[in-house]
Amino acid sequence: MYQRFFERRCYGCYGSNGFIHRIVWIVDGDCSSFRIDSKITPMKRRFFIKSITATTTAAMAFPIVAKAVQSKFKFRFVRPPGSLKENDFLARCIRCNKCSGSCPNDCIKYMGFENGFTQWGTPYIVPRDQACILCMKCGEACPTGSIQPIKDELSELLSKVKMGKAEVDKDHCLSYQGKTCGVCYRACPFPDIAMTIGFLEQPTVTGECVGCGLCERSCIQLPQAVRILPAHS
């Protein structure tokens, strides 16, 4: 007698003692079988079904779990200026390390396995450690176009560089606590365009912010009162 389960693909043949004597797999019309000696590897019908079901469920769930783990970054980072949107960037980047070699500010690092296999070897920048100075050398060095070449001109930088956007935490910002500061404003490469200041040099980020991270890098507060929200998140 055959017990059918697993979408008509696997059949177990049971003897009168309830042990499995033969398993038959049918895949795309191709029938093959292998024998299990009940004296050596006795397996009750119920346990056999539970084992196959558990194994199949785990195998089906693994890609979903792996994808979920990879989607949660272990730390905050931005891509080099001129990078394509994340999926296109990952598809084109060949992990050649040329962008880092061309960077005069030594701010481009490379991923390990902490953010998953798909991220391994790709370039990234942590603004708090070392921010981007927008020299655009990385785009010139990139051989695949994963980092687009952009002219070092105001209009080009403002329209094409979208690494992220700065966000000010007013609870930590000295200027919003009654003490004038303005360090982030003076570090911004586009003062009065990407960032403006008001009373006591209270900073306000505008929609022109490109996310280079120079404001975050310069912030004297710990933890920093201004940080970059990555464009890829």
Per residue in 94-123, pLDDT (tens digit) is: 999 999 999 999 999 999 988 788 899 999
The pLDDT value given to residue 46: 55
Residues 185 and 110 in one domain: yes
Q: What is the pLDDT of residue 50?
A: 52
Q: Do residues 183 and 109 share a domain?
A: yes
Q: Which ranges of the chain have pLDDT less than 50?
A: 1-43, 47-48, 51, 54-59, 61-71
Q: What is the pTM of this model?
A: 0.68
Q: Find out whether 134 and 108 touch, Cβ atoms under 8 Å.
A: no
Helix (H), strand (E) at residue 51: helix 45-70
Task: Examine the domain organization and report whether 134 and 105 are in the same domain.
Answer: yes
Provide the pLDDT for residue 39.
Answer: 43
AA identity, residue 120: W
User: Does 219 share its domain with 143?
Assistant: yes
| Domain-embedded: residue 75 | no
Q: Is residue 211 located within the same domain as residue 163?
A: yes
Phi first, then psi: what are they for 230, rounded to 5°? -60, 145
In a domain, 37, yes or no: yes
Total number of domains constituting the chain: 2
Q: Is residue 226 part of a domain?
A: yes
Whether 92 and 40 share a structural domain? no
Range of the domain at 149: 86-230
Are residue 31 and residue 91 in the same domain, yes or no? no
